[in-house]
Amino acid sequence: MSVIDHENYFTSLPREYYLDEDRYTNELARVWGQQRIYAGHVSQIPKTGDYFTFEVGTENILVVRDGGDVRAVHNVCRHRGLQLCNQPTGRVGRRIVCPYHSWSYGLDGKLLKATRQDDGEFFDYKDFGLFPIHVSIWQGFIFVSLAEVAPAPVDSMIDEKATADMAVLDPTRLKIAHEITYYADANWKLLLENGVECYHCPSVHPEFCVSLDAQEMSDYYEEDYIGDLVQGLVIPVKRELESLSMDGHYVSKKLLGEFGRGADVPDDFGAGFMTQPGYCWGGFHPDYGMVASTLPISATRTKMVCWWFVHEDAEEGVDYNVDELVKLWDITNIQDLHIQERQQVGLTSQRYVPGPNSPSQEPGIRAALRKYLEMMGEPS
């Protein structure tokens, strides 16, 4: 029997799972080092040589546009270990040049020139390219994997309905309107558990519940949630409203995809995706979308990066106002992270023992933690 399953009920994980640094190090290898991780969107690197970087645990990842391809490599020179690109975004041109000793690499990571050392003179260039990282692109969203052997492509994991619903929005024709990074003194799995249930929504998120259909969200986790590495996601809006916003109305005048071309908007339209156990979610509505990616920093600290997407032709100040665009999710994110920090403090108590979770309101926790335990090599 697993650590979460009991005779008549299930719980969250034991106390030490949220505190132990050795376990956290093991998680980086077994979970974060194996699954698909959301990296970004193709709009962030439109031209050859454009790049962005991001961190997962101790690893800094460089994602770069190479013609029609998107590449990802470990952002570490093979000579003396310098971090090649030290800015979150930028442009390298046709090759990546180390600023320390000018070793240069192709955008595919192959070593092109080791200064004053010809290929084959002392070593073969082919043996010292940048370490590659697997890339999978679904609907314009970039996912990477640090695993030795690439996991399945993302489009093979997400069901056809989720893919079709997302395609309605022309997701390759989105742009990022705003980005916020939040930090929480909480274990990353607390953010995962909180994100796969809506039991807490009425008490923690009164603003969110103005437009969110909280009961339908709970029904989704009970009936449709599958606990897979990548899956589709719908964040349901009350049927009489237009979008997930402070008042339920559109926050961008320029609608996405087919809706911007005059197609009728179904009452219950929503689209998106989710990764787990390493947790990311994206929720999209007719006028905008938001993607939030949680990334581990330590056993007791996590960051969450959020991007708000609008139509690529939408103009700030004309079609949307950034403050209104981000307001609902910003309030909700702050509320969630505050709760998880309080929860982290509480479970440091020697008296903390996880209590029974609700089979109808919190089944997503059981599914997500079973996947986590499976990846950790523990009974699930």
What pLDDT shows up at residue 109?
Answer: 98
Helix runs in the chain, H state only: 21-27, 154-157, 160-167, 188-195, 201-204, 208-211, 214-223, 257-260, 322-347, 363-375
**Structure tokens, 49:** 């040589």
Looking at every residue in the chain, the average pLDDT score rounds to 97
pLDDT in tens, 132-162: 999 999 999 999 999 999 999 999 999 999 9
Cα(52)–Cα(39) distance, integer angstroms: 9
290 CB neighbour count, 10 Å cutoff: 26
pLDDT at 71 over 90: yes
**pLDDT exceeding 90 applies to what percent of the chain?**
96
Cα(293)–Cα(290) distance, integer angstroms: 10
Instruction: Give how far Cα 201 sits from Cα of 124, 197, 362, Å.
Output: 58, 8, 12
Per-residue pLDDT band for 227 (boundaries 50, 70, 90) equals: confident
**Contact call for residues 262 and 191 (beta carbons, < 8 A):** no
**Contact call for residues 25 and 39 (beta carbons, < 8 A):** no
**Structure tokens, 343:** 């929860």
Average pLDDT over residues 55-67: 97
pLDDT in tens, 76-90: 999 999 999 999 999
**In sequence order, what E strands does the chain have?**
37-41, 50-56, 59-66, 69-74, 89-91, 95-97, 104-106, 111-113, 134-138, 141-145, 174-184, 230-232, 271-275, 280-284, 289-298, 301-311
Cα(219)–Cα(215) distance, integer angstroms: 6
pLDDT at 169 over 90: yes
Apex 218 CA angle, 215 and 222, nearest 5: 135
Helix or strand or coil: residue 127? helix
Q: What is the CA radius of gyration of the chain?
A: 22
pLDDT at 24 over 90: yes
pLDDT at 225 over 90: no
Secondary structure of 192-228 as H, E, C letters: HHHHCCCCCHHHHCCCHHHHECHHHHHHHHHHCCCCC
118 class by beta-carbon count within 10 Å (0-12 exposed, 13-18 middle, 19+ buried): exposed
pLDDT in tens, 242-295: 999 999 999 999 999 999 999 999 988 999 999 999 999 999 999 999 999 999
**Contact call for residues 305 and 292 (beta carbons, < 8 A):** yes
Apex 216 CA angle, 325 and 366, nearest 5: 100
Apex 314 CA angle, 311 and 320, nearest 5: 110
What pLDDT shows up at residue 220?
Answer: 85
What pLDDT shows up at residue 221?
Answer: 87
User: Please, what is the end-to-end C-alpha distance for the chain in angstroms?
Assistant: 7
**Structure tokens, 330:** 């910003």
Instruction: Give how far Cα 70 sits from Cα of 152, 158, 242, 293, Å.
Output: 17, 21, 35, 20
What pLDDT shows up at residue 226?
Answer: 86
Cα(77)–Cα(262) distance, integer angstroms: 50
pLDDT in tens, 177-208: 999 999 999 999 999 999 999 999 999 999 99
Helix or strand or coil: residue 319? coil
